[in-house]
Amino acid sequence: MTRRRALLGAGLAAALPVRAGARAVLTVAAFPLVDEIARAATPAWQRLHPEVELRVLSRQYSDHHTAMTTALSTAVALPDVMALESSFVGRFAQGGGLEDLRQPPYEVERFRARLVPYAYEQAVARNGAVVAMPADIGPGTLLYRQDILSRAALAEDDLTRSWEHYVAAGARIKARTGAYLIAHVQEIKDILIRSGLRPGEGLYFDTDSRVLVNSPRFERAFEVAREARRQGLDARVPAWSNDWAEGFKRGRLATELSGAWLAGQLNSFIAPGTRGLWRAAPLPEGASAAYGGAFYAMPRHAAPARKALAWDFIRLMTLDPQLQLQAFKAYDAFPALLATHEDAFFSEPLPFLGGQPARRLWREAARRISAAPVHKQNQFAEEVVQTELDKVLNRAKPIRQALADAEQLLERRARR
């Protein structure tokens, strides 16, 4: 569920010691497009600290997070500030390598009411530590091709009323237009397992590490995904592949379940030729889900002499309304700062979406999302569940057996 373009970045380097008389340097490790957003903030940083150079170090998305994992575990080559995608915040929080921003002099809890609630809560570790500050978020949305729906004699409500209606609409779309409903049914599963969470429930584990996958929530997710596959409604192409991009360009994909940021990326570089043909809608059944988002964190063992500077940079990037709106307008980075949400920009029409003022829709979606507790085995659980779904889709494995097997494997792993 990442929202970052696959751009080439510079190699990550350790911050060099400052020589006598040399200008101080604050290093920020980031990934596309967060690196560009950070660099764009250089003038604001220079006004705040003209004596300190801002050096943004960039790697590709996966390479960046691998490098940060290594840096935190070895306390070597640590930047002063590291950007993290939301899915990594919870994993890193469990390791204890990030500064607890609740503690003096940071006292981050005083800013909690100024941020989108679920985004702030995503950075709260199981022990209560707050390990990062949210900069931008990815409220989930359904994007659909209005022209394809018209050819199939369908309306938006046919897609959003329920998941069963969504699948039925997909069958009609395929029969009348030849287009697929969606790129891959995994996207349906990913939304449905995030719907209907009760207090104390994470995606795969509850707060007491009980495994939750053998449940009606997962059973329904698998059933809807299987039915869509049975009817041949997905193109069976993974997100961010060449076939995925071509599907958008050539009108072979009628809908996409993703973060609001995807509309901007479709417009800017994935399928700009489809401008005006798309619309945004709520997820089916009013489901709420978050797709990505960027956070800033401070390594606990980073240079103590620059901790105050690092905190100034984090506050600048997350609490300055002007910079938050600048990132939104230039990079589709939907702001986590609530003070920006009443800006007139949210009501402006989006030409790519046929003039629809969709940012207001996404703003409401962001307010409904609830943060799920993050478990240290979430990444492993995601792989296990996806493997079992593949067995259901490709080998006709019974759903209940697949979920029971996933539960058994995860229970053994959780006891370690």
139-197: pLDDT as tens digits: 999 999 999 999 999 999 999 999 999 999 999 999 999 999 999 999 999 999 988 77
pLDDT for residue 13: 33
1-25 per-position pLDDT tens digit = 444 433 323 333 333 343 445 679 9
pLDDT for residue 376: 76
H or E stretch at 138: strand 133-145
Q: Are residues 198 and 64 in the same domain?
A: no
Three-state DSSP class for residue 370: coil
Q: Are residues 277 and 194 in the same domain?
A: yes
pLDDT for residue 19: 43
Q: Are residues 272 and 350 in the same domain?
A: no
Q: Are residues 222 and 270 in the same domain?
A: yes
Does residue 296 belong to any structural domain of this protein? yes
The CA–CA distances, whole Å, from 114 to 74, 121, 296, 318, 328 equal: 34, 13, 16, 10, 17
Does residue 345 belong to any structural domain of this protein? yes
Three-state DSSP class for residue 397: coil
pLDDT for residue 17: 40
Q: What is the DSSP string of 373-389?
A: PP-TTHHHHHHHHHHHH
Distance (Å, whole) CA 118 – CA 367: 8
Query: For residue 11, what are the contacts with CB-CB under 8 A and spacing of at least 6?
Result: 57, 59
Q: What is the CATH number of the domain that holds 272?
A: 3.40.190.10
pLDDT for residue 34: 96
Does residue 80 belong to any structural domain of this protein? yes
pLDDT for residue 87: 84
pLDDT for residue 413: 83
Distance (Å, whole) CA 244 – CA 248: 7
pLDDT for residue 276: 98
pLDDT for residue 91: 81
The one-letter amino acid at 199: P
H or E stretch at 327: helix 321-331
pLDDT for residue 22: 65
Does residue 60 belong to any structural domain of this protein? yes
Q: Are residues 134 and 192 in the same domain?
A: no
Which residue segment(s) compose the domain that 88 sits in? 24-138+291-368
Distance (Å, whole) CA 372 – CA 16: 39
Q: Are residues 198 and 284 in the same domain?
A: yes
Distance (Å, whole) CA 254 – CA 242: 17
Nearest to 124 by CA among 80, 171, 86: 86
Token pair listed for 202: 């994470």
Residue for token digits 């401008």?
275
pLDDT for residue 302: 96
Does residue 9 belong to any structural domain of this protein? no
Does residue 132 belong to any structural domain of this protein? yes
pLDDT for residue 318: 98
User: How many domains is the chain built from?
Assistant: 2
> Do the beta carbons of residue 249 and residue 323 sit within 8 Å?
no
Three-state DSSP class for residue 54: strand
Q: Are residues 278 and 150 in the same domain?
A: yes
Q: Are residues 47 and 151 in the same domain?
A: no
Q: Are residues 159 and 266 in the same domain?
A: yes
Question: What is the chain's pLDDT, residue by residue, as a tens digit (416 residues)?
Answer: 444 433 323 333 333 343 445 679 999 999 999 999 999 999 999 999 999 999 999 999 999 999 999 999 999 999 999 999 998 888 888 778 999 999 999 999 999 999 999 999 989 988 889 999 999 999 999 999 999 999 999 999 999 999 999 999 999 999 999 999 999 999 999 999 988 777 778 889 988 889 999 999 999 999 999 999 999 999 999 999 999 999 999 999 999 999 999 999 999 999 999 999 999 999 999 998 888 899 999 999 999 999 999 999 999 999 999 999 999 999 999 999 999 999 999 999 999 999 999 999 999 999 999 877 777 788 899 999 999 999 999 999 999 999 999 999 999 887 76
Distance of CA 131 to the CA centre of its chain: 17
Does residue 261 belong to any structural domain of this protein? yes
β-strands 81-85, 52-58 pairing:
unpaired
Distance (Å, whole) CA 68 – CA 164: 42
- Report the length, in residues, of the chain: 416
Q: Are residues 204 and 282 in the same domain?
A: yes
Q: Are residues 160 and 246 in the same domain?
A: yes
Three-state DSSP class for residue 12: coil
Phi/psi for 157 (5° steps) reads -60, -25
Distance (Å, whole) CA 228 – CA 183: 11
Q: Are residues 276 and 171 in the same domain?
A: yes
Does residue 1 belong to any structural domain of this protein? no
